[in-house]
Amino acid sequence: MTSFHDFGLVEPITRALAEEKYVAPTPIQTQTIPAVLSRRDVIGIAQTGTGKTAAFALPILHHLVTNRRRPEHKTCRTLVLSPTRELSSQIVDSFRAYGRHVRISSALVIGGVSMGAQVRALQNGVDVLVATPGRLLDLVTSNALRLGQVEFLVLDEADRMLDMGFIHDIRKIVAKLPAQRQTLMFSATMPRAITELADQMLRNPAKVAVTPVASTVDSVEQRIFLVDRADKPAMLAEILQGESIDRALVFTRTKHGADKVVRGLIKAGITAHAIHGNKSQNQRERVLAAFRNGHVRTLVATDIAARGIDVVGISHVVNFDLPNVPETYVHRIGRTARAGAAGVAISLCDSEEAAYLRDIEKLIRMSVPATDRRSSPRQAQPSTMQHRLTRPPADAARNQRQRGRGNAPRKQGRPQQPRKAPSGINAVPFLHRNAQLGHNTQSRRREHGNPKNSVQ
Ligand code: AMP
């Protein structure tokens, strides 16, 4: 399949894809879409960044549109379960983007926000409901939602849902669904628990997999410099002068930060331009053209601005700021090492960003080699902080429930929420990061695809 038209999706959907500038389906889409269109259950091994959301969203939208019927009150036709609020809202956004030309109702049900608006959103029934398991069960228990009309069930990031202790919630939810339904399950890894779950919940599923085991993350040479915040501009200049760079894309968290970084680089004698939402379209195009043809070797961008940058030959990605959403890191570094080319991703991490680094390493399931350039690196850690950091958040949530708080409002798992890093230079024992992850990072390496856009 080289084009979305080959799948036979209804025209309003392919039109939306053209507007999204999706030219060709990704491998997971090529495998999954025909299977779902032919009404088969699917089990897929795929990670964030491979295009798996569209792989399930597009054929489901197609079915909803071609078999249109009004959802009954307090029911949904499609239920998508995902482990985190962040991922859930990305999924519902995707459904809305791909379904913008078809009248499909959707709702998002996640913890941490008031239930009132969610109860109202479900009142008339919806075509698509994206939810985290805990809040979904709360709504079912309080009779705001009935699950007996679900036609399509998607379990996204199943391994993470298991890691986060959602297995019982998932079983309770699935027990309330009609047996006659189409089920799609996606997971980055396939441990036994997932295979067992799939055996119980799926019927003769088509097995699809993308094998980017050694793709983006592995083919990018990743490095970290642990630095004091104040030293970041000088460190960046040193990196850009020291490395043999074809094109470098520097990421900052804010537009203001991007401008400041550019000023610092210019002062250090390095030509650089910023690209972000405050720049006019003209300015953006001029800068991008200069970056493409090599007149400007360094571009400083925010995540949102970087979405529109389609430039091949980026040899270096530098994270001036670490992103607070770990998936964003994977998307950022995926901008380099395209099409088998070698790429380098260098991140500057100050003490305030230590927790972000830890979340990133947990997501990519490897530790990134770090060089400590802080003025006074400290190794001893307060024992309370050590304790907090040694226990993975999922275990923490599980333990909390085992201590008899099963009915308390459920935690959706900390690591995926934008969060505040602990402050203090010695908040994280950088030199013992592997031990903190609590697993063999080599053997549990997780793979990632080559995302086109970044999220944030
Ligand atoms: P996902 O793995 O679903 O999180 O998707 C990763 C990113 O790839 C998202 O930003 C999507 O918008 C983008 N994407 C998905 N499918 C395609 C496609 N066929 N062409 C271009 N970009 C895509």
53: burial class by Cβ within 10 Å (0-12, 13-18, 19+)? buried
Instruction: Name which of 385, 296, 347 is nearest 285 in CA terms.
Output: 296
Q: State if residue 347 touches ligand 1 by the CB under 6 angstroms criterion.
A: no
Tell me, in angstroms, the distance from the centre of ligand 1 to residue 450's CA: 9
User: Which residue lies with its CA nearest to atom 9 of ligand 1?
Assistant: 453
Q: What separation in Å is there between the alpha carbon of 376 and the centre of ligand 1?
A: 42
Q: How far apart are the first and last CA of the chain?
A: 30
Provide the pLDDT for residue 91: 94
Question: What is the mean pLDDT of each successive set of 10 residues along the chain, which is 456 residues long?
Answer: 88 96 89 98 85 95 97 98 88 96 96 93 98 96 97 93 89 96 91 89 93 56 95 96 89 92 95 83 83 90 72 89 85 70 89 92 87 76 30 35 34 36 30 28 30 26
Q: Tell me, what's the pLDDT at 222?
A: 94
User: 25 CB less than 6 Å from ligand 1?
Assistant: yes
For residue 51 and ligand 1, the question of a CB distance below 6 A is answered with yes
Residue that the structure tokens 């959707």 belong to = 106
Residue 435 identity (one-letter amino acid): A
Q: Give pLDDT, residue 425.
A: 27
Q: Is 98 in the pocket of ligand 1 (CB under 6 A)?
A: no
CA 439 to ligand 1 centroid distance, Å: 30
Compute the distance between CA of residue 356 and CA of residue 327 in angstroms, rounded to an integer: 11
How remote is the CA of residue 49 from the centroid of ligand 1, in Å? Answer: 6
CA pair distance 176, 133, nearest whole angstrom? 13
Atom of ligand 1 nearest to the CA of 327: 4
Protein residue with least CA distance to atom 1, ligand 1: 51
Secondary structure E strands in 73-131: 76-81, 106-109, 126-131
Q: Which of 26, 94, 215, 217 for mutating ligand 1's site (highest number of atoms within 8 Å of CB)?
A: 26
- Return d(Cα 127, Cα 107) in angstroms, integer: 8
Distances (CA, A) of 6 to 1, 2, 12, 81: 6, 7, 14, 29
Three-state DSSP class for 95?
helix
Q: List, in sequence order, every residue forming a beta bridge with 249; answer none if it has no partner.
A: 299, 317
Q: Whose CA is nearest to atom 6 of ligand 1?
A: 49
Query: With contact defined as beta carbons under 8 Å apart, do 336 and 218 qualify?
Result: no
Are the C-beta atoms of residues 126 and 72 closer than 8 Å to each other?
no
Q: What's the gap in Å between 25 CA and the centre of ligand 1?
A: 9
Question: How would you classify residue 255: left for phi > 0, otherwise alpha for psi between -120 and 50, otherwise beta?
Answer: alpha
Distance 453 CA to ligand 1 centre (A): 7
Amino acid present at 439: H
Closest approach atom of ligand 1 to CA 454: 10
**CA proximity to 275, closest of 310, 223, 245, 242:** 310
Ligand 1 center to 375 CA (angstroms): 41
- How buried is 120 (Cβ within 10 angstroms: 0-12 exposed, 13-18 middle, 19+ buried)? exposed
What is the pLDDT, as a whole number, of residue 163?
79
Give the nearest ligand 1 atom to 49 CA.
Answer: 2
What DSSP line would sit under 246-299, residue for residue? S-EEEE-SSHHHHHHHHHHHHHTT---EEESTTS-HHHHHHHHHHHHTTS--EE
Tell me which amino acid residue 140 is: V
Kind and range of the H or E run holding 184: strand 182-187
Kindly give the number of the ligand 1 atom that is closest to the alpha carbon of 307.
Answer: 10
Task: State the closest ligand 1 atom to the C-alpha of 97, by its place in the atom list counted from 1.
Answer: 12
Residue of 48, 53, 95 to mutate, ligand 1, most atoms within 8 A of C-beta: 53
State both tokens at 244. 């043999």
Phi, psi of 101 (to 5 degrees): -100, 5
> For residue 47, which atom of ligand 1 is closest to its CA?
2
CA of 3 to the centre of ligand 1 (A): 14
Structural domains in the chain plus CATH codes: 4-209 (3.40.50.300), 220-378 (3.40.50.300), 392-434 (no CATH)
Distance, in Å, from the CA atom of 343 to the CA atom of 108, rounded to the nearest integer, reads: 37
Q: Is the CB of 53 under 6 A from ligand 1?
A: yes
What residue ranges in 246-297 does DSSP mark as E strands?
A: 248-251, 273-275
Cα separation, 39 vs 287, in Å, equals 47
Per the CB < 8 A criterion, the answer to whether 227 and 221 are in contact is no
Residue 441 Cβ contacting ligand 1 at under 6 Å: no
Burial (CB count within 10 angstroms: exposed 0-12, middle 13-18, buried 19+), residue 398:
middle
Neighbours of 385 (CB within 10 A): 16
Q: Is the Cβ atom of 328 under 6 angstroms away from ligand 1?
A: no
In this prediction, residue 71 carries a pLDDT of: 97
Answer whether 132's CB lies under 8 Å from 109's CB: yes
| Residue 301 parent element (H or E) | strand 298-301
Q: In what helix (H) or strand (E) does residue 418 lie, and over which residues does it extend?
A: none
Answer whether 132's CB lies under 8 Å from 83's CB: yes
Q: Measuring from atom 14 of ligand 1, which residue has the nearest CA?
A: 51
Q: Which ligand 1 atom minimizes the distance to the CA of 50?
A: 2
Residues 6+ apart with CB under 8 A from 202: 41, 42, 43, 183, 185
* Ligand 1, atom nearest to 90 Cα: 4
Measured distance CA(264)–CA(233) in Å, rounded: 6
